Amino acid sequence: MSDTSFQNVTVDAKANVYFDGRVVSHTVHFGDATKKTLGLIYPGEYHFGTGAPERMEIIAGACEVVLDGTSETLKITAGNAFDVAGNSGFTITVAEGICEYICSFLPV
């Protein structure tokens, strides 16, 4: 899993708010033009679509994930990650507590 602290970055103060505030993130921009989002997911089930490929690292809490086009439920706990193909999506379920994540946008 990647480092959970970042240096020499720019952060968008305006939050990305989804599902009536049940999922909230902030975008972090790096000097090499890459970006990540850091966020919180409150209990519930949510579907996200992807443009670019993504790696979702869970840094606190836990969730269950079903990638589009599959039926397998992945149980992801803090310290683990899952990858999502570009132009795809996933359904993420948080049963209890708050799930914290870092989403990295991967090269195509």
Report the b/e string of 57-70 with b at 16+ CB within 10 A: bbbebbbebbbeee
Tell whether 59 is covered by a domain.
yes
Burial (0-12, 13-18, 19+ Cβ within 10 Å), 19:
middle
Q: How many structural domains compose the chain?
A: 1
Give 5's pLDDT tier (boundaries 50, 70, 90).
confident
Tell whether 6 is covered by a domain.
no
What is the arithmetic mean of pLDDT over 73-93? 97
Give 108's pLDDT tier (boundaries 50, 70, 90).
confident
Tell whether 1 is covered by a domain.
no
Instruction: Please report, for residues 58, 70, 75, 85, 102, the alpha-carbon distance to residue 4 in angstroms, rounded to integers and kept in the order given.
Output: 10, 29, 21, 23, 8
**Are 104 and 57 spatial neighbours (Cβ–Cβ below 8 Å)?**
yes
Tell whether 5 is covered by a domain.
no
CA nearest 69: which of 44, 87, 52, 54? 87
Tell whether 75 is covered by a domain.
yes
What is the arithmetic mean of pLDDT over 77-95? 97
pLDDT tens for each residue of 55-74: 999 999 999 999 999 999 99
Please give the residue range of the domain that contains residue 70: 15-105
Is the model's pLDDT at 2 over the cut of 70? no
Higher pLDDT, residue 107 or 56: 56
Is the model's pLDDT at 4 over the cut of 90? no
**Are 46 and 91 spatial neighbours (Cβ–Cβ below 8 Å)?**
yes
Tell whether 4 is covered by a domain.
no
Residue 60 sits in a domain of what CATH number? 2.60.120.10
pLDDT for the residue 52 = 94
pLDDT for the residue 71 = 96
